[in-house]
Amino acid sequence: MTTVHSDDQLNESLAHIRRLLERHRLLDALAHRQEGPKKDLLESLQHRQNLADVHKRVNALHAADAAYVLEALPPDERQVVWEQLRPDLAGQAFVEVGEAVREWLAETTPPDTLATVLETLDPDDLRYVREWVTPDVFAEVARTLASADRQAVEDAAHYDEDDIGHYMTRDMIAVPDTYSIQHVLSDLRARGELPPQTDRLFVVDARNVLRAAIPLQALVLLEPSVPVLAAAITDVTTVDARSPISQAVTAFERYDLVSAPVVDDRGKLVGRLTVDAVMDMARTQADQRALAQAGLSRGEDLFASPWDSARNRWPWLGLNLVTAFIASRVIGQFEGAIRGLAALAALMPIVASIGGNTGNQTTALMIRALAGDQVRFSGVHRLLTKEIVVSLMNGSVWGVLVGLAAIALYSNLALGAVMAGAVILNLVVAALAGVAIPFALHRAGRDPAYGSSVLLTFVTDAMGFFLFLGLATIFLI
């Protein structure tokens, strides 16, 4: 009988939990309102029965689904579910939830309870969530670890958050290069179970230097007497513990890896990176970029307090306000022209807006090319030339259209010509800035997805106003 975790079944299960929680809240409210010992007893029984149902339901969930429930619930109900989770499931869910909710859980859970939950984690997961718990709680959890595991957690602290070493697991199987398949098989049978996402074992020499890898299928298919080195693949894609994780994401995507050995600078095997960790990381990167492009430094708990949410949005709004004021001062220089011809005020946002839009198109293509590293290979001057040609073509088409529309609206031929000229020039500015800004950020060692759009819009706004109002002053006023 195959159990299918289809989305529908998960949703049905979630809806059930949701109903139980609503009933829980209702019973809670009733219990607080009514006195009288008899009613109280009845309700308390109902209450307990209801909580037992919640307990059963949530503990039947996969850890990732439990995490999803925790994220989707408002704080009061989230707390009920969190308290009902078995410690081991709670531990896994703590690893799986988003950062904002993890922070909330770490803050609201009593230290002793949190320690009990975290004690169920393996060293890799514990290391991963270490920064979210207080040193006291961490110390208490670390006491329960075997000394090798404690060492593993401590070692990992030497890696940056961006290093592959921070994301690798030490849970892997390495076999000496002197073994035969038979040796390996009996070792594995003694061990009983393989680590998750094990598609191959690693072969190391006496100094723990990685020499090769044996796919699991070789163990199934080959004669037991074959020496491992004869069965192993020596052309192994390795990753470096000190390299940025983004490099591993690229390698896994390109070479369709399930796992990769992590080596140090002397080629010694120090860990294993698995595709699930890489996929999580790729998703986190994509999410963070999407948020960053909208001006959010990090994700928000859906039910964060408005105060926390408001502050999360300030840095960007502050920056935006500064750039908007500068653009506003550009307009301020032309107040005389605007007083003379108020149509300028109505038309100038069009020039700025079309510049911002084309510039952001160029920027998005540049960011993609830079992320794929194709710009280094092909050279930025070719791209710049192309974008300028495109902007001149687009400028001619849209500039003339916009100019004709302005003439139709205001019956002013010169105004239309100025408008068309300003659009063409601002599109060229947009092409230049759209290539130069991400490229400059990239050269400065920063991810161009962060901040390119703000800077670009600033340039196209300010220049759009300047070009249009400047041309108008020269030719119309």
Provide the minimum distance between the beta carbon of 40 and a second copy in the complex, in angstroms, as a whole number: 31
When the beta carbons of 45 and 401 are compared against a second copy, the nearer one is 401
Contacting a second copy (CB under 8 A), which of 120, 180, 293, 473? 293
> Closer to a second copy at the Cβ: 192 or 445?
192
Min separation Cβ 311 and a second copy, Å: 9
Q: Does 393 bind a second copy (CB under 8 A)?
A: yes
3-state secondary structure the chain: CCCCCCHHHHHHHHHHHHHHHHHHHHHHHHHHHCCCHHHHHHHHHHHHHHHHHHHHHHHCCCHHHHHHHHHHCCHHHHHHHHHHCCHHHHHHHHHHCCHHHHHHHHHHCCHHHHHHHHCCCCHHHHHHHHHHCCHHHHHHHHHCCCHHHHHHHHHHCCCCCCEHHHHCECCCCEEECCCEHHHHHHHHHHHCCCCCCCCEEEEECCCCEEEEEEEHHHHHHCCCCCEHHHHCECCCCCEECCCEHHHHHHHHHHHCCCEEEEECCCCEEEEEEEHHHHHHHHHHHHHHHHHHHCCCCCCCCCCCCHHHHHHHCHHHHHHHHHHHHHHHHHHHCCHHHHHHCCHHHHHHHHHHHHHHHHHHHHHHHHHHHHHCCHHHHHCHHHHHHHHHHHHHHHHHHHHHHHHHHHHHHHCCHHHHHHHHHHHHHHHHHHHHHHHHHHHHHHHCCCCCCCCHHHHHHHHHHHHHHHHHHHHHHHHCC
Q: Is 426 in the site for a second copy (CB under 8 A)?
A: no
Q: For residues 167 and 278, what is the distance between their CA atoms, to the nearest angstrom?
A: 8
Binding string, 196-215, against a second copy, x = CB under 8 A? Answer: xxxx----------xxx---
Give the nearest distance from C-beta 381 to a second copy in angstroms.
11
Per-residue x/- track, 137-176, a second copy (CB under 8 A): ----------------------------------------
Nearer of residues 133 and 184 to a second copy, judged by Cβ: 184
Q: Nearest distance from residue 258's CB to a second copy, in Å?
A: 6
Interaction with a second copy in 29-58: which residues (CB under 8 A)?
A: none
Count residues binding a second copy (CB under 8 A).
141
Piece of 125-133, 149-157, 186-194, 438-446 that binds a second copy (CB under 8 A): 186-194
Indicate which single residue of 390, 400, 407, 476 sits in contact with a second copy (rule: CB under 8 A).
Answer: 390
Nearer to a second copy, 75 or 87 (CB): 75
As measured in angstroms, the least distance from the Cβ of 94 to a second copy is 15
Does residue number 253 form part of the binding site for a second copy (CB under 8 A)?
yes
In the complex, least distance from residue 37 CB atom to a second copy, rounded to whole angstroms? 36
Pick the closer one to a second copy by CB: 45 or 404: 404
For the beta carbon of residue 237, count every other beta carbon within 10 angstroms: 13
Q: Which own/partner pairs from 283-290 qualify as long-range (CB within 8 Å, at least 24 positions apart)?
A: 285/246, 285/249, 289/447, 289/449, 289/450
Instruction: Output 50 or 363, the one with its CB closest to a second copy.
Output: 363
| Measured distance CA(369)–CA(380) in Å, rounded | 10
The reply on whether position 294 binds a second copy by CB under 8 A is yes
Closer residue to a second copy (CB): 136 or 308: 308
441 binds a second copy (CB under 8 A): no
- Kindly tell me which of 49 and 247 has the beta carbon lying closer to a second copy: 247
The residue within the footprint of a second copy, chosen from 54, 90, 241, 383 (CB under 8 A), is 383
Using the rule CB under 8 A, is 183 a contact of a second copy? no
**Measured from the CB of residue 35, what is the shortest distance to a second copy in angstroms?**
31
Question: Angle 413-443/380-410 helices, nearest 10 degrees?
Answer: 150
Q: Is 238 in the site for a second copy (CB under 8 A)?
A: yes
* CA distance linking residue 123 with residue 274, whole number of Å: 15
Q: Site map for a second copy, 110-129, x if CB under 8 A?
A: --------------------
6 lies in the binding site for a second copy (CB under 8 A): yes
Which CB, 47 or 403, lies closer to a second copy?
A: 403
Distance (Å, rounded) from C-alpha 153 to C-alpha 133?
A: 14
- Total residues belonging to the chain: 477
Q: Which of residues 312-371 bind a second copy (CB under 8 A)?
A: 313-314, 316-317, 320-321, 324-325, 327-329, 331-332, 335-336, 338-339, 342-350, 352-354, 357-358, 360-361, 363-365, 367-369
Residues in 57-96 that interact with a second copy by CB under 8 A: 62, 64-65, 68-69, 71-74
- Pick the closer one to a second copy by CB: 47 or 200: 200
| Contact of 437 with 363, CB cutoff 8 Å | yes
Q: Which is nearer to a second copy, 83 or 280 (CB)?
A: 280
